[in-house]
A and B are shown apart, each in its own frame.
Chain A
């Protein structure tokens, strides 16, 4: 359902923009600016709705929304982030006037920086302080503490920029370029970490080569062991229960006995010793039962994967997995080359592909037209897959760690991650676009050291991919050995 919504929100504004281009409007500057702004506003509303629905139906599936400001802030972040992607697409397709595009770029950039640096950290601090037990309940004190926390955040945010060659000296102290530079560093790090892990994890989960073979008898064996452990645990708890009742009865009988009664309870101290020993055995058994249960979950998951691999969908993804793993190996290789030889690719893949096609393969076609179409397709695919991939990862992350107390804080942190991720993907996407479309990004983002960001991405990607390989290898070996 979210897929349908997503497709409709992305094609809606495109449709309107195409209609406007086809109809020959008088080149009246103010009028066209108004129309462009209406298009942008309309698409913003659509993206806002998309974020709203995603939040309610997917993320907050098991929780009730107590503070609607969380829902609002999340949807606003999503809509402003998607706005930037939309502007890139408009840039490639030549929709809207250059001047209004430039204006909306600046506006969108200011909006997202405001949300990422001021709004989100403020609300995250507010909810964290609200959850702490030792803070008094008065709103005024909480507000002051939140503001102090936000100032601390701003200090560290500024400090992050120091070790990196982010800005050139001609920028002012509090300019947008400084902020973008820092947001870019954090976002690029996040992107590289997630890409590195995803590049290694996707082939591992989708290819059959890595599936553990689990038989029914193994699962039944573990089930039997688990139930035996539970039975032993229950028997011991029953003994404790009965012993407690016995000692209560004895104590009530001896109340009237005076000194003689006290002597009696002291000498018959047998049951109480048993109780503490039994409790120790119980905690060991409980730990064992937890481990057996987790092993059983692993075995059941492995069996589900085997079942899935027999279906058509499973086979299709396995096939894709092979291609993707080749792509991942190539990407790791290229990152290493880039770092060793200090090389940053200057030519984007579209132009390089067309060059090869024209010069080596001798295919003749209208370069300008096709370069536009292919860039549109390539950039569009990159945008859609990165949005979808990020939303799926965030959802899975949220389900794993959220509880009813921390759900607000975690979802706001995820919104922050999402915003930073999208800003830096715009930054890095510049390299995938032909020269004529790069200019707007360069112009809008100011003179950032783009080469630095690509190099930083390569480094973190390599580190993340290699450590994921190591991590998965250890986990795989451990899982295989625990069954035997």
Chain B
């Protein structure tokens, strides 16, 4: 049974301490975590996802969420987890603006995995390079409850990385199960992102979209 279900690999990256492990627990098991320790290396969780739920083309896929530890001292060894990658979730902490600025470095690190040893430590994110690789991206901001108490009024930020990449953005609190309740906006965006990842991975060879498949089948 297991070998018949296909899989996609999604990386969850971000600075140390932003809440990636809590987020992955929430997505895969629908339960909040108590204090997780710092992730060493990479921890993987899997989730069964219904691609195109509610349509005749519904199919079950395995989502592998690879939660990569963000300590700076482990930078030289992380690259083995980046190959292959079908989707990227960038996680930042809404109470810490620097973690949002560092997302560019993270994206560059993931996309430049082949040239890692040559570049050394200076990653510069180049939007054109991203456009070429076409990996679907989702940006998630955690610690919404703490952020609201710190920033009373809405602070306009400089251009967000989500706008630059044309990616969706979700802001939530990983300790609240209802953040990803089925039918909520967040859950819809997440589901749409997963569908996009699966589509890019398995339908990239074929021309057009599922409309043509539907027409061919009927």
Measuring CB to CB, which residues of chain A are less than 8 angstroms from any residue of chain B? 61-64, 66, 223, 226-227, 230, 233-235, 237-239, 241-242, 245, 286, 289-290, 292-294, 296-297, 300-301, 304, 399-400, 403-405
Q: Does B45 contact A (CB under 8 A)?
A: yes
Q: Mark B70-100, 1 if CB is under 8 A from A, else 0.
A: 0011101100100000000000010111110
Structural contact, A241 and B40, CB atoms closer than 8 A: no
- Once A63-B98, A242-B2 are accepted as A-B contacts, the answer to whether A230 and B44 lie under 8 Å apart by CB is yes
Q: Does B17 contact A (CB under 8 A)?
A: yes
Structural contact, B41 and A237, CB atoms closer than 8 A: no
Q: How far is the CB of A474 from chain B (nearest CB, A)?
A: 21
Q: How far is the CB of B194 from chain A (nearest CB, A)?
A: 15
User: 10 closest pairs, A vs B, by CB?
Assistant: A293-B41, A300-B76, A403-B17, A290-B40, A64-B97, A237-B46, A297-B77, A64-B96, A296-B77, A300-B77
Q: Please report which residues of chain B, range 40-59, place their CB below 8 angstroms from some CB of chain A when the two chains form the complex.
A: 40-48
Q: How far is the CB of A212 from chain B (nearest CB, A)?
A: 15
Across-interface contacts of B73 in A (CB, < 8 A): 297, 399-400
Q: How far is the CA of A189 from the CA of B109 in the complex (A)?
A: 42
A405 and chain B: residue at smallest CB distance = B17
**Chain A-chain B contacts (Cβ-Cβ < 8 Å), number:** 77
Q: How far is the CA of A237 from the CA of B62 in the complex (A)?
A: 11
Q: Does B64 contact A (CB under 8 A)?
A: yes
Q: How far is the CB of A130 from chain B (nearest CB, A)?
A: 12
Size category of the B interface is 20 to 34
Structural contact, B46 and A227, CB atoms closer than 8 A: no
- Once A223-B80, A304-B76, A404-B93 are accepted as A-B contacts, the answer to whether A294 and B40 lie under 8 Å apart by CB is yes
Q: How far is the CA of A230 from the CA of B43 in the complex (A)?
A: 9
Q: How far is the CA of A290 from the CA of B44 in the complex (A)?
A: 12
Q: How far is the CA of A290 from the CA of B102 in the complex (A)?
A: 25
Structural contact, B48 and A241, CB atoms closer than 8 A: yes
Q: How far is the CA of A300 from the CA of B5 in the complex (A)?
A: 36
Partner of B42 from the list A293, A294, A400, A404 (CB cut-off 8 Å) is A293
Q: How far is the CB of B114 from chain A (nearest CB, A)?
A: 15
Partner of A62 from the list B41, B42, B102 (CB cut-off 8 Å) is B102
Q: Does B191 contact A (CB under 8 A)?
A: no
- Once A64-B96, A242-B1, A404-B95 are accepted as A-B contacts, the answer to whether A289 and B42 lie under 8 Å apart by CB is yes
Across-interface contacts of A241 in B (CB, < 8 A): 46-48, 62
